Amino acid sequence: MSNATQKTATEARAELKSVPHTPGAPKPDAILVVDNIVRDFGGNRAVDVDHVEVQRGVITALIGPNGAGKTTFFNLITGFDQPSSAKKVFGGPSADKAAKWSFNGKLLGNTSAASVAKSGMVRTFQLTKALSRLTVMQNMLLGAKDQRGESFLAAFVKPLWAAQEKANIEKAEDLLKRFKLYEKKDDLAGSLSGGQKKLLEMARALMSDPVMIMLDEPMAGVNPALTQSLLGHIQSLRDEGTTVLFVEHDMHMVRHISDWVVVMAEGRVVAEGPADTVMSDQAVIDAYLGAHHDTDLGDDSLLEEGAMDAPKKEKK
């Protein structure tokens, strides 16, 4: 598990070949392992995942119809929400039924969102959270890890943190250039367009050199030309050793860059596998289109009719 840094992305992907295409399949080198995670909202069970693993060093896509529980799943494992199945002092589920998940070999059950991020799992939000009244550059700098100037007493003494700050600024400028935001660096983030905010949020997350980055619909609202270059960027991230888990509704994109696809529906993981196989899986088609549809989800004509975006799962 620990020799990950030496392994190349190609090797990591090759390892996936031997993984069976079943929900919850074990991975040869899993960076994230999740067990028994359940989240109820009133009577509505938004997430109910028995077991799922994410392979290190590859791009995994998490797909599923609207309301499938993808965002809630992200919230749970990044510490922004607590599972209903969490261990409790009194009552609660028995030890083997309690929610348990580990990242990079470290148990995360009771960890705050901040320490999850510190341990290297950084996420973005489906609804962007740009810090509006800070400039784009300040937004970026906030992403940097272990800043000396963030401790209260050191903050008063600029020489203590000036050098580190300078290095961070350079890094931020590099990233901003790649994300086509460099010209905007002194504008307030609130003045960016919706798509630009998505880009900023992604760039900001990368400031901390995450071990694994979790993107919730990163491409929604980003124009096609830029999407292409961002896809390239995500792939090069993977090639440099970062694990990527992303939620996306655009099947072209999923097919284009993902090495592995996990499908959720009604809170459960219903299928897993490489993009091509998974899209023709009957369970997945049922999930998206309701039962008795005999269509390959990768079929482009289907996409053009907008059928993929339209079906809204009925939820009360």
Partner 1 sequence: MVNTALARRSSPVNLRLIFGVILGLLVLSFTLGTGAPAAHAASDVCVADSATGCFNGTIKGVGAGVKITIDGNGENVVVETDKSGKWNAAVTTAGTYTITLDEKTLPSGVTLKGDAVQTRDITLGFTKGAIFAVNGGDSGSADGGSTPTDTASQGFNWDRLAQQVVSGLRLGLLLALASIGLSLIYGTTGLSSFSHAEQVTLGGLLGYTFANVLGLNIFLTIFIVMVITGATGYVQDAVIWRPLRKKGLSLTQMIIVTIGLALALQYTFQMIWGAKTIRIMKNNPETFTIGPVTLTYESVWAMGLAVIVLILVGLFLLKTRTGRATRAVSDNPALAAASGIDVDRIIRLVWVIATALAGLSGVCLGLVLNGINWQTGMQLLLLMFAAVTLGGLGTAFGALVGSLIIGMTVELANFVVPGDFKYATALVLLIIILLVRPQGIFGRKERIG
Partner 2 sequence: MDMWLKVIYDMSANMILPTTAAFAIAAIGLNVHFGFTGLLNMGQAGFMLIGAYGFAVSTIMGFPFWAATLVTIGAGVLFALLLGIPTLKLRGDYLAIVTIAAAEIVRMVGRASVLNSVTGGSNGLPGETYRNTFSALSPFPDGQTTILWFTFDNTGVNGWFIRIVAWSLVVIFAILVWLLMRSPWGRVIKGIREDEDAVRSLGKNVFAFKMQSLIIGGVLGAIGGMFYVLPTSVQPDALGRNMTFLIWTAMLLGGAATIWGPVLGSILFFALRIFIQGTVDIIVPDAILNTQQTEQFSWIMVGVALMLLVIFRPQGILGDKKELNFNV
Q: Which residues bind partner 1 (CB under 8 A)?
A: 41-42, 71, 74-75, 80-81, 125-127, 216
- Whether the Cβ atoms of residue 79 and residue 72 lie closer than 8 Å to each other: no
Nearest to 52 by CA among 316, 290, 245: 245
Compare residues 7 and 148 and give the one whose CB is closer to partner 2.
148
Query: Which of ligand ATP, partner 1, partner 2, none lies near 218, with the C-beta cut-off 5 to 8 A by kind?
Result: none
Which stretch in 3-11, 62-70, 84-92, 203-211 sits in contact with ligand ATP by CB under 6 A? 62-70
Which stretch in 59-67, 170-178, 218-226, 233-241 sits in contact with ligand ATP by CB under 6 A? 59-67
Strand order across the 268-273 sheet: 121-123, 212-216, 243-247, 59-63, 260-265, 268-273
Q: How far is the CB of 135 from partner 2 (least distance, A)?
A: 10
Distance CA(303)–CA(234), nearest Å, equals: 23
Compare residues 34 and 206 and give the one whose CB is closer to partner 2.
206
Distance CA(265)–CA(46), nearest Å, equals: 10
Q: How far is the CB of 138 from Mg ion (least distance, A)?
A: 27
Compare residues 100 and 268 and give the one whose CB is closer to ligand ATP.
268
54 - beta bridge partners? 32
Residues 6+ apart with CB under 8 A from 289: 295, 307, 311
Among 12, 16, 49, 68, binds ligand ATP (CB under 6 A): 68
Residues near Mg ion (CB under 5 A) are 71, 126
